[in-house]
Structure 1
């Protein structure tokens, strides 16, 4: 299996809060949630994503374990790394959307928790696996934020209100679920497997890399896989940045960040 990975911070002056690892048998991708409020954590989102990602890479390497169990133990292990220094009960405690793909003898297993997108090209067509529950929260606040140009005081105030509304629904029944401090969020992950003989190529994208389809509507998912196959993940991210750069006010394509951290992993 050929594997290619690229990641790029949305802002060159800020840490990249995405995290990824990829081998011939395991892919782990995390998208750390932007902190617009306090977090109660002295370490930061990038630290959390790296700690959780590293834990998951080790735990999921045991092919006898369930991916959801690996995520549960990974969340618990990461929480233990800063339980004595940070307030893990804080509403804004660091969190991350998570995706894992793992090859076993006869199947490709997947897990998604949060808005990371997994693409699996099979003999029966492309399966798109993502968790859009966060998009169904804070809708009024999100629409208000979309009304204002990026960088304006009105936009910043609206984004803060939106974040508070999102946090109120995070890891709550009827809301959305991500990896944070509660290991039992793993029970809400989307999981499944596909017979290995049906799999042609796969990709994992953080939402910053999925924008050409999910936000801008300029490509379809088969086009994304073709770009990844023919030109690699770096080219996909370059195309995202070009569109973002052509709309600096974020008014043609309403969004919460001019440029988001973007990570793409491709395997075939």
Structure 2
């Protein structure tokens, strides 16, 4: 398959906390969780995403290993890279994870968190996404959405929302992402599709998926069409144009004016 990628930070003065590696037979996409509080880690979210992503990539090239086992081992290895940090801190760096691996006869996938995998097959479009984070802290989200960006009320509400989210991160009844505990992988969405049935696919962090999930301006087929005709850079450009047209977050309330955005397209 041919593979194209693009990634863009949500803010020019902050590091991109997304991480991507893509080749003909392997795609790894991580979306680090922005820290609005202390994390107990001296390295930061971008460091964590990069270390976890590169570790996953190194392990996943062995295609006889299950993707779940790859992610389990990678989380443990990454945790051992920074033992000086408080890995039991409720806000220890974390990341959503999406893995695609092509074998001789199958497309294997794993999704942990709200990064989206979209696969068009001969039978239609399949979407794999764990959006349980959107069902947490709903009262706090609604409160934050009442205020414009830049206001003290918005900042305070976002902090309350973050604390409410963290209380349910990697907890029963909450949502699951890669952090320091490898056992979270049991909650990942996994499966495979016969390779002969696959026409094209995309992997999108939530910042790149906004045209569908937040702005409701495209459906998933439309996203695949944009990627096919214009490439991942154009998809992200369109997201940024909509964000720029609503700088205060009044038309499309959201917790970030612009989020880190990563898109991978393969056909």
Normalised to the residue count of structure 1, the TM-score between the two structures is 0.99
**What is the Cα deviation at residue 18 of structure 1?**
0.1
Task: Give me the whole-angstrom Cα distance separating, in 2, the residues matched to 1:40 and 1:188.
Answer: 25
| Partner residue, 2:232 | 233
Instruction: Give the aligned length.
Output: 267
| Partner residue, 1:14 | 14
Corresponding position: 1:197 with 2:196: yes
Task: Give me the whole-angstrom Cα distance separating, in 1, the residues matched to 2:189 and 2:61.
Answer: 19
Root-mean-square deviation (CA), in Å?
Answer: 0.5
State the SS of the aligned residue for 2:167. Answer: helix
| Partner residue, 2:119 | 120
| Partner residue, 1:174 | 173
Task: Give me the whole-angstrom Cα distance separating, in 1, the residues matched to 2:74 and 2:201.
Answer: 24
Matches within 5 A, 1:86-235: 86-235=85-234
State the SS of the aligned residue for 2:69. Answer: helix
Task: Give me the whole-angstrom Cα distance separating, in 2, the residues matched to 1:256 and 1:40.
Answer: 23
**What is the Cα deviation at residue 151 of structure 1?**
1.2
Task: Give me the whole-angstrom Cα distance separating, in 1, the residues matched to 2:58 and 2:187.
Answer: 21
**What is the Cα deviation at residue 60 of structure 1?**
1.0
Q: Deviations over 1:190-226 (max 9, x none)?
A: 0010011110001000000000000000011101000
State the SS of the aligned residue for 1:169. Answer: coil
| Partner residue, 1:244 | 243
Task: Give me the whole-angstrom Cα distance separating, in 2, the residues matched to 1:234 and 1:139.
Answer: 32
State the SS of the aligned residue for 1:31. Answer: strand
| Partner residue, 2:3 | 3
State the SS of the aligned residue for 1:144. Answer: helix
**Runs of 4+ deviating beyond 6 Å:** none
Q: Which runs of 5 or more residues in structure 2 are unaligned?
A: none
Q: Which runs of 5 or more residues in structure 1 are unaligned?
A: none
State the SS of the aligned residue for 1:82. Answer: coil
Task: Give me the whole-angstrom Cα distance separating, in 2, the residues matched to 1:56 and 1:215.
Answer: 29
Task: Give me the whole-angstrom Cα distance separating, in 2, the residues matched to 1:86 and 1:211.
Answer: 33
Task: Give me the whole-angstrom Cα distance separating, in 2, the residues matched to 1:129 and 1:145.
Answer: 28
Task: Give me the whole-angstrom Cα distance separating, in 1, the residues matched to 2:87 and 2:250.
Answer: 36
| Partner residue, 1:79 | 79
| Partner residue, 1:28 | 28
Q: Deviations over 1:201-254 (max 9, x none)?
A: 010000000000000000111010000001000000000000000000011001
Matches within 5 A, 1:30-45: 30-45=30-45
Task: Give me the whole-angstrom Cα distance separating, in 1, the residues matched to 2:263 and 2:39.
Answer: 27
Task: Give me the whole-angstrom Cα distance separating, in 2, the residues matched to 1:147 and 1:232.
Answer: 35
